[in-house]
Chain A
Amino acid sequence: MTGTRSQAQSPARNAGLHAVLGVVVVLVLGAATRFLEKNVPVWFEGDVAKAIEYPVYAIVLGLIGNAILTATGWRERLEGGFRTEFFIKTGLVLLGASINLKVIVTAAGPAVIQGILLITSVFLFTWWLAGRLGIDDKLRALLSSAVSICGVSAAIAAAGAVQARKEQLAYTASLVIAFALPSIFLVPWLASVFGLSDEVAGAWIGGNIDTTAAVTAAGALVGEDALAVASIVKVTQNALIGIVVIALTAWFAFRVERTPGAKAPGIGEFWTRFPKFVLGFVAASVIATWYLGTVPAADGKEVIAVANDLRVWFLILAFVSIGLEFKVSSLREAGWRPVVVFGSAAVLNLVLALGLALLLFSGFTV
């Protein structure tokens, strides 16, 4: 009896130990990122070395770590510690502390309009195109949610709503990251080619790039103001997940699977699906805005700078985890059709998001 129980406990204990080891790998690569960010500009004089920001080091080190762990057979075992979603959400809550509440309130209006228009048009286009190419309804729902809302977290929420299979979620997540990685560098570069203001560039990045971690990386490459607007736009889209997930739950229960006696999802379902870190982001802004109003400006700035340092650490850990999580094998399994759907939707998203950013955020200042 005892032997059977200890045999059953052993895999769970091993999984826990491996997850802790995974976190240690992320922390070590995060520390290496910080080291390179501080020292490369000292070692190599010139503009290029100075221009390389921490997201670049973090993602590249994550991808190198991924290759080494995959080659040695350790990646799968340690992946429980690669908590991209947790790291990015904690980083975003801390980011709220560096954004004045007034900026969030002012940007919320255009961000909601941009979010509703983008999500609706990109979701419906992706759903239609995936249907034309004969893709399974559950994968259609995952692809449409991921490309139109906020990448991996939207795919996870949609997967729960439509009861998708694990490998469909893994596939969608890999596709999101495969498209997000080049976007992190491409969109900031295009923004500079087009001569966009930091605020418009931030709105474009937040509206177009799918996954929240990649939005933060691209925003950080453009600058602090772009990062602030990109985060507000993306956090707004995150908040809209709940509505899309309720619609998907109802659609699959009543139209696709026609479950007998299925109940319509209500406000409770909305609250369950609502990304709670959005509340943390706003709460951090409220706390910091109040705090800065009660102390001398220089003291307040010094204190918020510490919160910013912590935020950068969490973002670095998230970017390292993106690199570590990237998996090519699940992309090969599903064939070319979902890639065509995702790619076409990404192009539509890119163009629409640029138009809406120019329309809604020209003249906006942080």
Chain B
Amino acid sequence: MFSMKCMTEPPTRQESRTQFNEDWAATVIGLVLLVLVIVGVIPPGLIP
């Protein structure tokens, strides 16, 4: 189904690990932005 060149490529553990890091990054950045909005560091009208 796939070429031999593709067959020799390493498995996908790396992608899997990257995704978990993105999970934490998205959680932390999303919550930090929300807190910045609530405490007024990012005021209304600043976001285009």
Contact = CB atoms under 8 A, between A and B. Distances in A.
Contact of B12 (A86, A139, A160, A280): A160
A83 interface: yes
B37 A310 contact: yes
Interface SS of A by simple majority: helix
A272 B24 CA distance: 11
A94 B33 contact: yes
A333 B3 contact: yes
A90 B19 contact: no
B11 to A, nearest CB: 4
Given A165-B12, A276-B27, A306 B47 contact: yes
Nearest to B8: A165
A250 interface: no
A169 B14 CA distance: 12
Contacts of B27: 89, 93, 276-277, 279-280, 283
Contacts of A93: 26-27, 29-31, 34
A155 to B, nearest CB: 9
Interface string B2-31: 110011011111011101101111111111
A164 B1 contact: no
A163 B16 CA distance: 10
Which of B1, B6, B28, B34: most chain A CB closer than 10 A? Answer: B34
A357 to B, nearest CB: 27
Interface stretch (A53-61, A102-110, A216-224, A284-292): A284-292
Nearest to A284: B34
Interface string A14-57: 00000000000000000100100000000000000000000000
What bracket does the count of chain A residues touching chain B fall in?
35 or more
Contact of B29 (A90, A97, A288, A313): A90
A164 B6 CA distance: 12
Interface residues of B, number: 36
Contact of A310 (B2, B25, B47): B47
Given A159-B16, A333-B3, A334-B1, A310 B23 contact: no
B44 A156 contact: no
Interface string A294-312: 0000000011111101100
A184 B19 CA distance: 24
A85 B35 contact: no
Given A287-B35, A310-B47, A160 B1 contact: no
A97 B19 CA distance: 23
Given A89-B23, A306-B42, A166 B12 contact: yes
Interface in A300-357: 302-307, 309-310, 313-314, 333-335
Given A275-B23, A287-B34, 17 more contacts: A31-B48, A85-B22, A89-B23, A90-B25, A90-B26, A139-B1, A160-B16, A160-B17, A165-B9, A166-B6, A166-B12, A167-B2, A272-B20, A276-B27, A287-B38, A288-B34, A333-B3
